[in-house]
Amino acid sequence: MTAWIDELITEVTTAVRERSDERVAEMFERCFADTLHSTMTPMPDGTVFMLTGDIPAMWLRDSSAQLAPYLHFAADHPELAELLVAVNRRQLDAIALDPYANAFNAEPNGHGHRDDRTDASPWVWERKYEIDSLCYPLQLAHDIWLATGRRDHLDARYRSAVVAAMELWQVEQHHEERSPYRFERFDAPLSDTLVRDGLGPETAWTGLSWSGFRPSDDAGRYGYNVPGNLFAAVTLAGVESIAADVLDDEALAAEAGALRRELETAIDAHGVVTTDQYGDVYAYEVDGFGNALLLDDANVPSLLSLPFLGWCAPDDARYLATRRFLLSEDDPSYFVGSAARGIGSPHTPHDHIWPIALSIEGLTSQDEQDRARLLDTLLRTDAGTGVMHESFHKDDPDTFTRPWFSWANAMFCEFVLDVVGLRTHVRRPVPRGD
């Protein structure tokens, strides 16, 4: 497997080098190679177990996002396409094991967080339920199909994962009455556990689907994560297409479409807040009682990432209003320093900016000068390591968290490929409603 990987790295890096300067090409090559060489383990069943970095577990979210820059080359490289499918099959199997879990072990060895009060099996590293954990593998399956034309991964395994995800999302539309999920972690920060004996913050019915934790793995303040629900709606549009065009399953397509429309309607009704300065903007979290949290989090799905996810075009009026708020100091997670300015996360220390957010800001920007500034910022803030970190201090990039974070490397690569014109697989927003 190593020979074709090295050939691919050389091929893509050469193309980047021809369209950029050496500084960009060198960092791109390190980040592009890191995921392929360091994160993947072939398993006896033909699937691939994938690390996110310095934690020995496979996150459904991260293992999908890490593959984004490779989708653009999979159509011309069958070995690469096979690798993406092998990762995706393992993700779909994981959903069948436990759709409420966010991270899994390579085998049922009981590693990970064993003292949490929740119904976790030995396969599960962590059982923090996040709506995006189900979105990512289903969206990856759809992306592989669109990018390569392959259909063999869209089989009974895929259908079972779709059914499990949709059933869970429908249950969690009625979290207070129907949810079996509970999660408590003891002797830990409040961001690591759910209130009300593990049930989470109280919610009223809205049509949105509840999520206990954010994409950061932090507990939400309110129970409905808006970018997560937006991503679920996008994911369901992909399910509709596959059910109709590949599986020939009209009933599944109809059910996915109905749930998608419910989420879209609920987002418009409950996920938007009118502000004096910015007009109508998307909230980050709501609870159905009228409470809303206005901020963003660097982890994707984020509000900043909505065009990247395929929810809307980058010139969508409501998105632009939201973006103006997010990239201002009115956003509590936006930090301005002497080294950089950008969005961070409550998951990391105050005043820390995330390279993932800088890459997403660049990927969703329509201003070429701004994109050049963001690329330069990413190159300048690696603390001399040649790779991306989880976060760095706005005044001192040598102060950073997580020396190895493959998801951040992948988003940097995705941004570079976009800048140099090699990013061919771009999600386009689908029409809403019927």
With cut-offs at 50, 70 and 90, classify the pLDDT of residue 309. very high
Judge if 13 and 63 occupy the same domain: no
* Same domain flag for 283 and 399: no
Parallel, antiparallel or unpaired: strands 58-59 and 103-104: antiparallel
> Is residue 7 assigned to a domain?
yes
Residues 130 and 17 in one domain: no
| Stretch among 40-44, 171-175, 401-405 having the lowest mean pLDDT | 401-405
Final residue belonging to a domain, choices 285, 300, 330: 330
Distance between CA atoms of 55 and 53, rounded to whole angstroms?
Answer: 6
- pLDDT score recorded for residue 27: 97
Please list, in sequence order, all residues whose beta carbon lies within 8 angstroms of the beta carbon of residue 334, skipping any fewer than 6 positions away.
Answer: 296, 326, 327, 328, 341, 342, 343, 344
Same domain, 67 and 202: yes
Q: Rounded CA gap, 85 and 89, in Å?
A: 6
Q: What is the pLDDT of residue 251?
A: 98
Rounded CA gap, 133 and 101, in Å? 8
Confidence grade of residue 404 (pLDDT, cut at 50, 70, 90): confident
Residue 106: DSSP 8-state: S
168 domain-assigned = yes
Task: Between 235 and 432, name the one with better pLDDT.
Answer: 235
Task: Give domain status of residue 48, yes or no.
Answer: no
CA–CA dist 260, 12 (Å, integer): 37
pLDDT of 1 over the 70 cut: no
Q: Does 67 share its domain with 142?
A: yes
Query: According to the model, what pLDDT value does residue 385 have?
Result: 96
Handedness of CA 186, 192, 198, 202 (dihedral sign): positive
Contact 131, 99 (CB under 8 A): no
245 contact partners, CB below 8 Å, separation of at least 6: none
Q: Are residues 349 and 298 in the same domain?
A: no
Longest alpha-carbon distance in the chain: 58
- Whether residue 221 is found in the same domain as residue 340: no
pTM of the complete model: 0.97
CATH number reported for the structural domain that contains residue 267 in this entry: 1.50.10.10
- Chain-centre distance of CA 140, in angstroms? 11
Q: Which of 16, 213, 249 lies closest to 101, judged by CA?
A: 213
- Model pLDDT for residues 316-336, shown as the tens digit of each residue: 999 999 999 999 999 999 999
At 66-85, the pLDDT tens digits run 999 999 999 999 999 999 99
Among 309, 330, 351, the domain-final residue is 330
Domain assignment present for 431: no
**Number of domains the chain is built from:** 2
Angle of the 2-19 helix axis to the 22-38 helix axis, nearest 10: 160
Give 3-60 pLDDT, tens digit per residue.
999 999 999 999 999 999 999 999 999 999 999 999 999 999 999 999 987 789 999 9
Residue 393: pLDDT over 70? yes
Is 377 found in the same domain as 315?
no
Same domain flag for 181 and 307: yes
The tokens describing 9, both together, are: 């790295």
Q: Are the C-beta atoms of 298 and 356 separated by less than 8 Å? A: yes
CA Rg, the chain, in Å?
Answer: 20
**pLDDT score at 54:** 79
47 found inside a domain? no
Rounded to the nearest integer, the mean pLDDT of the chain is 97
Q: How confident is the model at residue 430 (pLDDT cuts 50, 70, 90)?
A: confident
Banded model confidence at residue 434, pLDDT cuts 50, 70, 90:
low
Residue numbers of the domain that contains 158: 54-330
Of 311, 330, 349, the position where a domain reaches its end is 330
Decide if pLDDT at 104 tops 90: yes
Does residue 49 belong to any structural domain of this protein? no
pLDDT in tens, 189-222: 999 999 999 999 999 999 999 999 999 999 999 9
Domain co-membership, 152 together with 210: yes
Is residue 250 in some structural domain?
yes
Alpha carbon dihedral 337, 340, 345, 346, in 10-degree steps, equals: -20
10 Å CB burial of residue 46 (0-12, 13-18, 19+) is exposed
In a domain, 249, yes or no: yes
Query: Same domain, yes or no, for 160 and 273?
Result: yes
On whether both 93 and 33 belong to a single domain, the answer is no
